[in-house]
Structure 1
Amino acid sequence: MLGLGALAAALALPAAAAPAAPGAVAKPPRLRQGDVVGLIAPAGFSDDLEELEQIKSNIAGMGLVPKVGAHVLTRYGYLAGSDHQRAADLNAMYADKDVCAVFAVHGGWGSARMLPHLDWKTIRANPKLLVGFSDITALHLAFAAQAGFPTVHAPNAANGWLEQTWNSFWTLAFQGDTPTLLNPDPGPDPGPDPLLQQRWRTATIRVGKASGRLLGGNLSVLAALVGTPYLPDFSGAILFLEDTGEAEYRIDRMLTQLGQAGILRRVAGVVFGQCTGCQIDVTGYSGFSLPQVLAQHLVPLGVPAFSGALIGHVANQFAIPVGVRAEIDAAVGSISILEPAVAI
C-alpha cells in the first residue's frame, strides 16, 4: 500500500453531509481523516499479532484510526470466535458512536453463520460503511436486505490496497463521488508480460446498457444464501459476481441454482468479474469453458452482460459500492456509479 497517508492528506474533502431526503434511507457518513474505524473478524481466524499490527498500520496509512474488536484474535475451530462472539463485535461497532466505519480483517468462511445474531435494529439506526469482500458478501447482501444502506465491496483489511483499489475507495468513501469504473488500458504493446492484455480484457456477453441497484459479490456465498431472509430483492438490479478456486462445472451449478431460484430472470444486467483459478486441472479436459458457461446462463436473459471487470480475488481490484444505483455499458465494460454511497 504505497503513499496512502500522503495521498489522503493531499486530497481535499467536500463540505459537511446534507440531511437525507424525507422518507429516504439514511446513508453512512463519508469518511474523514482521523475517523475511528472498527476492525472485526466475521469469518476465519488469525492469531498472528504481527499481522494485526501491520493491519493497524495500513489503516493508519489511510488516515484513519483503527479500533480492534474484542474477539479479532479469538479462535473457535476455523472461526474467529463463536458465532455469538463474532456477531457481538459487529454489533458493538455499530452501537459505538465513536466508530465511523467497519472493516472486515479477513474472509474465509463464517460470516453467514452470525447473521441470525446481528442486532438489525441497532445497525439500521447507525448507518456506517461496511468494507470487505469474499465471504463478507454474506454481510453485504444481508445489509442490503435487512438494513438498506450502502456498503463497499473492497479488500479486507489484511489484503493489499494498491493504487487503483485505494483511488476507487477514496473516491467512493471519502469524497462521495460517482466514478465510472473501467479496466486499465494496457496499450497496444503489453510489454514483457504477454498475459497482460488477457488479464485486463473485458468480454461482452450481450451488448447494451442497463441501470439498477448494484448487488452481488462472491457467487459461492450468494448461492448459499438462496432461501434465507438475508438475500435482497434482485428485481431490476445490476448483479455483479466473482469467485475463486471454483471449477467450471461448479460455476455452472451455482448459476443454475440462481436461475432456477428466479434470481437471474429478475436482474437488469450482469457483470461477472474475475474468477481466479476457475479452470479445472484435469489433463485432457473437454468440458465447457468458463466463457461458454457464462454465455449459456446469461445470454438467454436478454439483458446487457459482460465479464472480466476487476472485481474479486485479484490485486488492484475496484472498490464497488453495494446497494447504490449504477449503469453498465457491456460493449465497453464500464460500471458508472449514479449516486453517492455516502452522505455528502
Structure 2
Amino acid sequence: MSFSRRNFLQTLTAAAATTAFRPPLSVIKPPRLKPGDTVALVGPAAPAFTHETVQVAVESLQVLGFKTVVAKHVFDRYGYLAGTDADRAADLNAVFADSTVDGIMAMHGGWGCARLLPLLDYNVIRRNPKILVGYSDITALLLGIYAQTGLVTMHGAVGSATFNPFTVNYFRQTLMDAQAVLMENPRDKGDLLAQVKDRVMTLYPGKVRGRLLGGNLTVLSHLMGSKYLPDWKNSILFLEDIGEDVYRMDRMITQLKLAGVLDQISGFVFGKCTDCEPGKGYGSLTLEDVFRDHIVPLKKPAYSGAMIGHITHKFTVPLGIEAEIDAEAGTIRLLEPAVK
C-alpha cells in the first residue's frame, strides 16, 4: 500500500469516526429552579446592544422570584459578537463553576455559540449541572453540551424574549414545577369560524415515543460531522428557523437526509419558520412541498406548526428527555420531568 493511499484511508477512517454511532451518555437532569435562586444572564453569541434590554430581562426574572447576575462580558463588542471567543467561553465556564448560580439564560442568539464549543470545560459542566436555556444560535450550546456531558438542556426563552403568560407558563411548569408537561398549541379561533393562527398540520399520522433533540435547523446542520451532535437513534427531532428562503430549508433538510439523521429518528416536529415564505418569481417550492418530499416518505409520525421558534409565545423544550408526540393532535407530552 502506497504512502498516499495509506494517508487517504486513514483520513477516511478519521472522518467516519467523527459521525459514527456514539452510545448515548447517561442523562443528567439539572436541579429545578426555585424562588430565591440566582439566574445568570450570559452573552454567548450577539452582544447586548442596550442596557435597557438587559434590565427588562432582569426585572422579568425578578418577578418570577429569581435573583440575577449579569456575566462579565455581556456588553462587550467584537463585531457581531459579545466579545472574543475566549471571553464568552470564560463567562460560560465561570457561571457553571459558580456555586451561587443556579440557572443560566442566554440574552440573545445571533451567531457565535459554535465557536465556543472547543473552549468549554465539559468536566466542570458535568460536575455542576444546572439549567441552560435559550434558542436560535444557542442551539449549538444546547446540542454540544448535551452530546459531551449528557446534561439535559432547554430550548426556550432568552433574556430578550417576551415574557408573556403562555411562555412563562411553560417555563414555570417545566423548569420550576418539574412537571411532565403536555405541550399543545393555543386553540383560540377568535371571532373566526375556523382557527387560522397557530394551526398544526399533520404530515404523517400516529403517535411515537423518543428522546427530544433538535433546535434551529441552520445551526444544527452546520454542526454535522462534528463531535458536538448526539446520537439520533430513536429520537424525536424538532426544528425551527427564521429568515430562510425555502430552497435553503430544502438544502439543509436534504443535508440531514443524506447524513442519515432522518433515517434514525422516530418522529418529527417542525415549529415555526418565521419569514420563510416562498420568494418572488417563478417556480419556488413551499415549505409544505419540502416536507412532502423529505418527511412524509419516512412514514414516521410528524407534524408542523408547534410553538417552537422565533415567536413570542413558545414552549420550553428539554433536549434529552423522553417524550411522546401525537401527530394528529399536534402535541408533545413529556414522559418524565426535565429537572429534578
Scaled by the length of structure 2, the TM-score of the pair is: 0.90
Normalising by structure 1, what TM-score? 0.89
Instruction: Tell me how far apart the structure 2 counterparts of residues 147 and 342 of structure 1 sit (CA, whole Å).
Output: 16
Q: In structure 2, what residue type is equivalent to 1:57?
A: E
The letter of the residue matching 1:46 is A
Q: Match for residue 337 of structure 1? A: 334
Tell me how large the CA RMSD over aligned residues is: 1.4
In the alignment, is the contact (CA less than 8 A) between 1:47 and 1:74 conserved in 2?
Answer: no
Q: Which residue of the partner structure matches residue 145 of structure 2?
A: 143
Q: Paired residue for 1:268?
A: 266
- Paired with 1:226 and 1:168, the residues of 2 have a C-alpha distance of 30
Q: How many Å apart are 1:286 and its aligned residue?
A: 2.9
> What is the deviation of 1:24?
5.3
1:130 to 103, 113, 132: 132
State the match for 1:51 in structure 2: 53
Q: Which amino acid aligns with 2:203?
A: I
Aligned equivalents of 2:67, 2:282: Cα separation in 1? 50
Amino acid at match of 1:263: V
2:196 counterpart SS class? helix
Write out aligned runs for 1:172-183 (5 A): 172-183=174-185
Counterpart in the other structure of 1:14: none
Residue identity in the other structure for 1:75 = R
Unaligned runs of 5+ in 1: 1-22
Residue 296 in 1 paired to residue 298 in 2?
Answer: no
Matched, 1:315 2:312: yes
The 1:251/1:103 distance shift into structure 2, 3 A limit, reads same
Tell me which amino acid in the other structure corresponds to 1:191: D
Number of the residue aligned with 1:234: 232
User: How far apart, in 2, do the equivalents of 1:214 and 1:24 lie?
Assistant: 15
Mapped partners of 1:116, 1:342: distance in 2 = 26
Name the SS of the counterpart of 2:197 in structure 1.
helix
Aligned partner of 1:67 in structure 2 is 69
SS at match of 1:144: helix
Which stretches of structure 1, 4 residues or more, deviate above 4 A after TM superposition?
none
- Distance in 1 between residues matched to 2:229 and 2:28, nearest whole Å: 20
Matched residues in 1 for 2:141 and 2:28: separation? 18
SS state at 1:191 partner = coil
Q: How many residues align?
A: 316
Select 1:162's aligned residue among 164, 181, 200.
164
Q: Is the 8 A contact 2:54 2:159 kept in 1?
A: no
Distance in 2, matches of 1:160 and 1:146, equals 31
- Which residue does 2:42 correspond to in 1? 40
Shift in Å, 1:27? 1.4
**In structure 2, C-alpha distance between the alignment counterparts of 1:276 and 1:342, rounded to whole Å:** 30
CA–CA distance in structure 2, aligned partners of residues 113 and 62 of structure 1: 32
Matches within 5 A, 1:183-194: 183-187=185-189, 190-191=190-191
Structure 2: 5+ residue stretches without partners: 1-24
**1:307 shift after superposition:** 0.4
How much does 1:135 deviate? Answer: 0.5
Q: Give the Cα separation in 1 of the matches to 2:94 and 2:26.
A: 25
